[in-house]
């Protein structure tokens, strides 16, 4: 039996995809039948986790006695952090391994294939846009020059006009659009976009930021907690401070009992029914 919790499910999924490429398909099914009687997926991030976005942009302390800025530095230093990014339920990726196998070295670059539902629906299968972020209406290349510089430029830029609110769906998070869009306002975003493209989208076995298929294991159990608010969206704005504290969360959107609730208002106020 296999028990996997949280990101451990991603590791197990990667193992199954690797195994599928290592042995013939008929041997793959036989191996699973002989070695895995049941798979227990505990808290599996089957479409990723929004908290990975929070960790990448503002930091998540998980109750540790550290600042959010320090937590953000730690999060972005771990190569596995992006493995938990949320993604669309409607988009799949070309298999890089098979493309190279059939088309030779340096075959077609990474491409994401999305069903029509991705463009008909508003939120990539999620209940809302995952990231809503304010950026200055006048672009300032030196907004956050270093950890020690005072960011007066961004204040003067925002005085020229109201900031622009940009919204990003799950697909736009996982394909790197979010990080590429805010590169001018966040010194870490370029590195995150690079990591995402090289180590996830370009992985030779699997782009893990794509929907799961049920593994051909006889007994699969998915186990989750209930009656708890789940973070499904964030609003960010510039803090006026240097990196890593350059963003603050101005609002959090929760999903609870089929409705969306804002942190800014009473928990009894339902913003939108699903």
HSE, CB side, 13 Å, CA atoms: give it for residue 112: 24
For 138-147, write each residue's pLDDT tens digit.
Answer: 655 444 444 3
Cα–Cα distance for residue pair 77/58, rounded to 1 Å? 14
For 34-92, write each residue's pLDDT tens digit.
Answer: 999 999 999 999 999 999 999 999 999 999 999 999 999 999 999 999 999 999 999 98
| Mean per-residue pLDDT, 109-136 | 86
pLDDT of residue 106: 46
Q: Which of 15-24, 116-125, 182-191, 201-210 has the lowest mean pLDDT?
A: 116-125
| Mean per-residue pLDDT, 114-127 | 89
Report which of residues 24 and 264 the model is more confident about.
24
Cβ neighbours of 109 (radius 10 Å): 11
pLDDT of residue 242: 95
Angle at 247 between CA 243 and CA 250, to 5 degrees: 165
pLDDT tier, 26 (very low <50, low <70, confident <90, very high otherwise): confident
| Mean per-residue pLDDT, 202-221 | 94
pLDDT at 245 over 60: yes
pLDDT at 230 over 90: yes
| Mean per-residue pLDDT, 146-169 | 60
- Find the DSSP H helices in 130-229: 152-159, 170-174, 177-181, 189-195
pLDDT of residue 93: 75
Our CA dihedral for 255, 57, 78, 114, rounded to 10 degrees, sits at 60
pLDDT of residue 110: 53
pLDDT of residue 162: 76
């Amino acid at each position: 039996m296999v028990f996997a919790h949280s990101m451990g499910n991603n590791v197990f999924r990667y193992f199954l995809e690797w195994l599928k490429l290592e042995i013939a398909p008929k041997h793959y099914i036989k191996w699973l039948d002989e070695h895995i009687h049941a798979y227990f997926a505990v808290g599996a991030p089957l479409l990723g986790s929004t908290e990975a976005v929070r960790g990448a942009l503002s930091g998540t302390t998980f109750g540790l006695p550290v600042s959010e800025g320090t937590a953000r530095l730690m999060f972005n230093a771990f190569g596995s952090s992006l493995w938990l990014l949320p993604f669309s339920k409607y988009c799949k990726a070309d298999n890089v391994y098979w493309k190279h196998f059939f088309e030779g070295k340096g075959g077609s670059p990474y491409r994401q294939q999305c069903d029509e539902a991705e463009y008909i629906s508003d939120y990539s299968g999620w209940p809302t846009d995952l990231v809503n972020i304010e950026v200055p209406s006048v672009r300032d290349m030196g907004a956050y020059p270093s950890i020690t510089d005072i960011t007066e430029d961004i204040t003067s830029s925002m005085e020229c006009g109201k900031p622009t609110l940009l919204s990003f769906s799950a697909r736009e998070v996982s394909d790197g659009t979010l990080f590429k869009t805010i590169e001018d306002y966040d010194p870490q975003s370029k590195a995150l976009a690079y990591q995402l493209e090289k180590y996830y989208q370009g992985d030779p076995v699997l782009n893990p930021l794509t929907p799961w298929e049920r593994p051909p294991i006889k007994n699969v159990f998915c186990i989750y907690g209930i009656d708890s608010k789940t973070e499904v969206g964030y609003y960010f704005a510039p803090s006026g401070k240097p990196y890593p504290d350059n963003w603050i969360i101005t609002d959090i959107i929760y999903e609870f009992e089929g409705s969306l609730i804002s942190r800014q208002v009473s928990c009894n106020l339902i913003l939108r029914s699903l």
